[in-house]
Chain A
Amino acid sequence: MTYNAARALELLQKGSGYPNATFREGQEVAIRHIVEGRGRLLVVQKTGWGKSFVYFIATKLLREAGNGPALLISPLLALMRNQIAAAERMGVRAATINSDNTDDWAQVEDKLMRGEIDILLISPERLANERFRAQVLSVIAAQISMLVIDEAHCISDWGHDFRPHYRLLERIVKSLPTNVRLLATTATANDRVMNDLAEVLGPNLGVSRGDLNRTSLTLQTISLPSQAERLAWLAQQLAVLQGHGIIYTLTVRDADQVADWLKTRGFNVEAYTSETGDRREELEQALLTNKVKALVATTALGMGYDKPDLSFVIHYQMPGSVVAYYQQVGRAGRALDSAYGILLSGQEEIDIADWFIRSAFPTREEVAEVLGALEDAADGLSIPELMSRVNLPKGRIDKTIALLSLEAPAPVAKLGTKWQLTVAKLSEAFWERAERLTELRREEHRQMQDYVGLPFGEHMGYLIRALDGDASLVTKPALPQLPTDVNQALVGEAITFLRRSSLSIEPRKIWPAGGMPRYGVKGAILSNHRPQPGKALCIWGDAGWGGMVRQGKLQEQRFSDDLVAACTKMLREWNPQPEPTWVTCVPSLRHPELVPDVAKRLADALGLPFHMVITKLRDTPEQRTMANSTQQARNLDGSLVRNGQPIPFGPVLLVDDMVDSRWTLTVATWLLRSNGSGDVFPVTLSLKGQDE
């Protein structure tokens, strides 16, 4: 197809909104290469270079010549809204189908069918979705003229962000005939990633690669072991830092906590995580238009977010690799003369990183358990059926099934609602790859630890060398170092803050699959037999009270008075209604005194009577050794009973030291309520996540 240079420039000027705009170096060459069908193209350019102009202008030119629509695969579509707006300015009809816009799906599908979409943007996970492939994609699959793979480094095993579904994309690309135009783009690719991409994308791959150096960025690292110290540092520095920025955390909970802390200190900040949901767009806009000082975000705010005048990016914890870090910090100062990129490093980040690394792949035991269960079931198993046969957390079962099904050939495949064994055995290459990637992650982590230890002024050069770029152009930091000391009074307030938060415990509403035969219950739990929403003081082992709970349970076999006081304070603030008139607790045969002791002290502090009314019949294995909810429910069936004491009528606080699956609280509440008690309010010292 012939390339129309005048039309391309016209589209650029419309799309950018600048009537005199001209192409950046490499942009027009890339568009021309794609439009003329001269082969596959990989564009490696830093964020802000204008990769989206390349694919939107190419799409428009192809469509104007009568070709079919383009398909763009990108990991985070929620963040492409401003690009879509630019596309619309040049008359490119762009649409997305993702988990955030289910209401629009029907309309988008209709438009696709009528040929009224020029480019469809989807995530790799959506591409793997059976329903989407059969119902939506099949309608246009026979006409797609160009495939765009955004964040293409994810295709490579060496790419920083291991996303299982890019495996599928890799295979689709490998079987894609050469007459489908293919454009792959990324902002970061070291030589190893480039080699991998060249292998997947084919021998005749054209490459457009720009330089990595960001002269405007002043990079600095600061070690502050405790979270309280880092919270204090943030509160001090945010008051003096110019402009607006992003604070990155490793987990959703940290993002929420940091944002809450900064709000209590009077800063206009918001948390932005995978759980932000509908408010995402509003928050992105708030930062774009400088309505907030900063967003406290996980990597959910990542690839594709484009604010040229971002003046700082601060990491609350150390990310797992140089590639990931460079992507995130590189958002700062793109259109500014100077900006800060500050990495705070703390003690918990090693545990978090280690957890991410260890849990990325299923273990041999997990795979053997899942495959063994499927082997025994000739007609296959659904996920709930697997949960009742395999003693693994649901998250681990899901992960195991997902990774196995993304192998090719895959040892399991889904027929209808059930997973079945296929005629392929899991190859040893699966484990070799898992080991290789795990080792790589550890190596990348060590590389980041080295980065933390660098003296001021050497950071940019280190990053560019690690990314196989040209470090000779690196200049001295434009801005002075930020102070590294923290105000001790502020640290004290941060400690108090960390201990202040509590967590809610939502009641279960349905008995486990298959019911509890010994209790004779199944299906929905009657609403007057369910607990009220409850409270947990902390997360097991966290920076607030979590450490003290762990110490009480594992070392001292007694929970401290501080914890009782904290619980009392939490209950006073919570003030559950109707007000409880007595206190009871969950029994244990293994630690018969631990929980009754703390429950009684809590009752005393509240001035309420304490009654032990439930006992345990048999010594069941500890709930924590039961790995998923169905197994935990079965483990309990018939084990808790009334101890013969009368059950008072009034509302009651039900105390336990730890809550995980909530089945113990659910069964105890059912016993209490069906024997005449009033509303039941569960209270626990700590909450434990499923996968920890």
Chain B
Amino acid sequence: MIRALSPNTQAILLLTAPLIAGRAPVSQDLLSPSELVSLARKLNKIQHKLSDLLSPDGAELMRACQSGIDAARLQRLMGRGFLLSQVIERWQARSIWVVSLADSEYPRRLKEHLPNTAPPVLYCCGDISLLASGGLAVVGTRNVDDTLIAYASAVGQLTAEAGFNLVSGGAKGIDKAVMHGALEAGGTVTAVLADGLERSTMNRDHRNLILDGRLLLISPYDPSVGINAVNTVQRNKVIYALADASLIVNSDLNKGGTWAGAVEQLDSEKLAPVYVRSTGRPTPGLDALLSKGAVPWPNPKDANELKAVLMTSGPTQVMSHQLGLTLFSGEGQSGKASISTLSPEITPQLEEPVEPKLEPAPTTVDSPESVAVPTTTAAVAPSTPADALFAVARELMVSMLKVPMKDIEIAMALNISNAQARAWLQRLIEEGSIEKQRNRAIYVSRNDMLFGQLWQPIAQFPDCEDNK
């Protein structure tokens, strides 16, 4: 059965999604999540919707709404209609669904937790109703010992036995262990993947679970994109935001996707409690998270105890909508109800994004988690070695610059010359991935840029087999 996409979802895909269909380079014009929200807001002011950009007078609207976004850029993006039909056909044939901010199926909690940075589009494979089921998120790093694997597996099992959905990342280590525990015990799992869905859906282990309605694979990244090609931070935000509560099994200190996601959750969101493991060997990472407001995991021993933890810690499955709305509108929204929770159409958010807080600069940068170096050349083939090098540098620098740094610090951290650091920084500024703070030699990532701009270097796509 094919569900046609709504015109609003078509417009959102055209404006923000890379629409990878082959070897053609991904558009440089893609809107960031915040640019999309801003454009929707401007259109709303003149009584129009995003879908109106598809109408015969769409070109006129692009100028009339005064979005501050170049009308020619919008025109190029909206002109990708045939490309859109190509990729949608491909996704549909592979049972991959698209849910956009404009769809009622888009997880409400994600919109609420990430008002300006929620991924505009989620690619899903499996039972879509699992998207709304919340539950417990369990995260941790890839390289862990057997004790932590056993711990994670037990948490997964308990989550399933208590009848809660489990949200995890589908990566090696903690993610796999906790998923395995939950699925073995007959539970359901929402796996938020850091790579494209296309290959994962064909994996035989996944296939049967998906057919049984027990596993939902979702990703904020294009289904064709290979592993290691994307920044996992965006993915981690989605994991935290989809759950009623999260448990961090372990984390590095000041680095890695687990850390970054947890800190963001603790600093700016605080919509759902963040627990950290409280038994076994303590680690500097978990201790630091405790000091930032994370809560020690109360170690529920059976299903009832876990229920008690999750019921008190966040919205339940049944009441999530009302509670989510209450929490949302009660939390610094000046009493104005968010229109987005009432209407399936995308509507402007009412607040500007929170300023990123200043953190001390990290002294070392070598995290394998947030810095995904494309090692499998079969999957990703940047066009030139220089592009490949810059792709790696971009990921490293954007990740490091989540906290503001000077150019000299970057140069020292990467062990490169100051001139090289400045050259790369300038390039990142030009493409909009980072910005330079006014009158100071301090650079910082544009947090709204995590989505769109990271794509260019990985636009190469492996040659497909000719099936003529």
Contacts and interface: CB of A to CB of B under 8 A. Distances in A.
Interface of A: 36-38, 68, 71, 99, 129-135, 137-139, 141-145, 147, 168, 171-180, 378-380, 405, 407-410, 413-417, 420-425, 427
B93 interface: yes
A175 B204 contact: no
B66 interface: no
Contacts of A423: 95, 125-126, 201-202, 206-207, 210-211
Contacts of A139: 22-24
B45 interface: no
A133 B211 CA distance: 29
Nearest to B97: A409
* 4 closest A-B pairs by CB: A138-B22, A134-B22, A131-B466, A141-B83
A408 B92 contact: yes
A132 B86 CA distance: 12
5 contacts: A129-B468, A134-B23, A135-B23, A141-B22, A179-B58
B88 interface: yes
Contacts of B305: none
A171 B89 contact: yes
Contacts of A179: 53-56, 58, 78-79, 81
B93 A144 contact: no
Secondary structure call for the A interface: loop
Interface in B49-90: 53-56, 58, 76, 78-86, 88-89
A135 B204 contact: no
Contacts of A414: 465, 467
A168 B204 CA distance: 26
Given A138-B24, A177-B81, 18 more contacts: A131-B465, A135-B22, A138-B21, A142-B19, A143-B80, A171-B89, A173-B85, A175-B85, A175-B88, A177-B14, A178-B54, A408-B2, A408-B89, A409-B93, A409-B94, A415-B199, A417-B465, A423-B207
B467 A129 contact: yes
Interface residues of B, number: 52
Contacts of B419: none
B95 A422 contact: yes
A131 B464 contact: yes
Given A171-B92, A172-B86, A180-B82, A416 B465 contact: yes
A168 B463 contact: no
A407 B2 CA distance: 10
Interface in B243-294: none
A173 B464 CA distance: 23
Nearest to A178: B54
Contacts of B463: 131, 134-135
Contacts of B210: 423
B89 A175 contact: yes
B407 to A, nearest CB: 36
A585 B464 CA distance: 48
B87 to A, nearest CB: 9
A71 B206 CA distance: 38
Nearest to B29: A142
Given A178-B55, A180-B82, A134 B2 contact: no
B92 A133 contact: no
B42 to A, nearest CB: 19
A420 B202 contact: yes
B7 interface: yes
B144 interface: no
B465 A178 contact: no
B79 A145 contact: yes
Contacts of A416: 465
B34 interface: no
A133 B465 contact: no
A374 to B, nearest CB: 10
A133 B461 CA distance: 12
Contacts, number: 158
B453 interface: no
Contact of A143 (B55, B79, B461): B79
B5 interface: yes
A427 B202 CA distance: 18
A429 to B, nearest CB: 8
Contacts of B466: 129-132
Contacts of A36: 56
Contacts of A407: 93
Contact of B202 (A71, A99, A175, A415): A415
Interface string B88-106: 1100111100000000000
A36 B55 CA distance: 12
A405 B199 CA distance: 16
Contacts of A177: 7, 10-11, 14, 54, 81, 84-85
Contacts of A68: 79
A413 B86 contact: no
B4 interface: yes
Contact of B84 (A175, A405, A415): A175
B1 interface: yes
A477 B191 CA distance: 71
Contacts of A180: 81-82, 85
Contacts of B56: 36-38, 179
Nearest to B206: A423
B27 interface: yes
A408 B96 CA distance: 10
Contacts of B211: 423, 425
Nearest to B468: A129
Contacts of A142: 19, 24, 27, 76, 79-80, 82-83
Contacts of B53: 179
A144 B201 CA distance: 30
B201 A422 contact: yes
Nearest to A409: B95
Contacts of B89: 168, 171-172, 175, 408
A130 B464 contact: yes
Nearest to A36: B56
A423 B208 CA distance: 7
A666 B379 CA distance: 43
Contact of B5 (A71, A134, A138, A175): A175
Nearest to A177: B81
Nearest to A415: B202
A378 B21 contact: no
A455 to B, nearest CB: 48
Nearest to B13: A177
Contacts of B76: 142
B93 A408 contact: yes
Contact of B4 (A174, A378, A410): A174
A407 B58 CA distance: 34
Task: Name the residue in B1, B85, B126 with the highest tally of chain A Cβ atoms < 10 Å from its Cβ.
Answer: B85
Contacts of B19: 142
A550 B468 CA distance: 37
Contacts of B23: 134-135, 138-139
A198 to B, nearest CB: 15
B15 to A, nearest CB: 11
Contacts of B95: 409, 422-424
B1 A134 contact: no
Contacts of B11: 177
A422 B461 contact: no
B258 to A, nearest CB: 29
A68 B14 CA distance: 16
Contacts of B92: 171, 175, 408-409
Contacts of A425: 211
B86 A178 contact: no
A353 B274 CA distance: 69
Contact of A137 (B22, B27, B199): B22
B41 to A, nearest CB: 22
Nearest to B211: A423
A134 B81 contact: no
Task: Name the residue in B19, B461, B466 with the highest tally of chain A Cβ atoms < 10 Å from its Cβ.
Answer: B466
Contact of A141 (B2, B21, B125): B21
A343 to B, nearest CB: 36
A134 B82 contact: no
